[in-house]
Amino acid sequence: GSDASPIEPSSEIPIQNSTGKPSRTARRAGSDRLPEMEAARDSMAALLDAGIFDSAQTLGCFLVSSGGANNEASISMKAESLVLHGDALYGEKEFRRALNAYKQAMQCSKSIPRQATSTARISISTTGRSPSPNSSNVMPFNENEVKSKIAICHSALHEYREALQEMEGIPSKMRNLKMNLMLGKLYRISRNNRAAAICYKECLRQCPYVFEAIAALAEMGLSSKEFSLLFAQVSVHFFCLRSQKEARSL
């Protein structure tokens, strides 16, 4: 005989069907928020580019805690928000919290179907801040880039073994210049000079002006003859690349 009226379902309350999954109403409510979340994400990327990490971190807390429907778009957005939040935390030198954010992003990305990752967008580091993994470029979720950010955090915490393990998980063919340079440094710290030399040489093949790699190879005893041979190979490599570009432009 209670006088209490039944609670009317609203779009703000997650509604589940008999399968335990969010209903269409709940999914629609979450998707309606995506434009708002994307706008906030773009603003956060701008803050990171400007080096305003404190404000970016506050906005990141909002993005990460704003749960939407459990669909592909929302999961992708959450993974992206976690990476951006990690970038902001790294900028504030909160390396442990940044590390946790990146790891959560990796875990979250595993819930995204492979076909969805082609449309998921994630920030990738391109800024000149060193060695910050802060980022603003937008491209498909790149697991290897996030792994490198995790490694950078481990390195900042002097957890070199963990950093090396993370970097070794990136296939050699997928490592960019920054990754090879970092891996070379980590191998050198672990006193694996042979592996370090391979990474530094690969850096010079990618760009002959990586003076850190040149100095490291010299300190490790690379002879002038070996340097001459290496730079001869680099010159041939760049000549071939230039020829290919000229051929395409014809």
For the chain, give the mean pLDDT. 78
Contacts 24+ apart (CB under 8 A), 197-204: 197/222, 201/230, 202/175, 203/177, 204/230, 204/231, 204/234
| Residue from 86, 34, 94 nearest 61 by CA | 86
pLDDT higher than 90, residue 161: yes
Q: How confident is the model at residue 189 (pLDDT cuts 50, 70, 90)?
A: very high
Which residues have CB under 8 Å from 114's CB, separation 6+? none
Share of the chain above pLDDT 70, in %: 66
Half-sphere exposure of 30 (CA within 13 A, CB side): 22
Q: Which of 31 and 26 is assigned the larger pLDDT?
A: 31
- The helix (H) or strand (E) run that includes residue 138 is strand 135-140
Query: What's the pLDDT at 37?
Result: 81
Considering only 27-31, 182-186, 220-224, which range has the smallest mean pLDDT? 27-31
- pLDDT tens by residue, 175-187: 999 999 999 999 9
Region 108-115 average pLDDT: 74
Under CATH, which number does the domain 22-150 receive? 1.25.40
Residue ranges of the domains in the chain?
22-150
Q: Which of 85 and 109 is assigned the larger pLDDT?
A: 85
Residue 188 tokens, joined: 């050198």
User: How many angstroms separate the first and last alpha carbons of the chain?
Assistant: 86
Q: Which of 28 and 233 is assigned the larger pLDDT?
A: 233
Query: What's the pLDDT at 177?
Result: 96
Task: From residue 123, give the alpha-carbon distance in Å to each of 46, 60, 61, 171.
Answer: 11, 13, 16, 20
Whether the model pTM is above 0.75: no
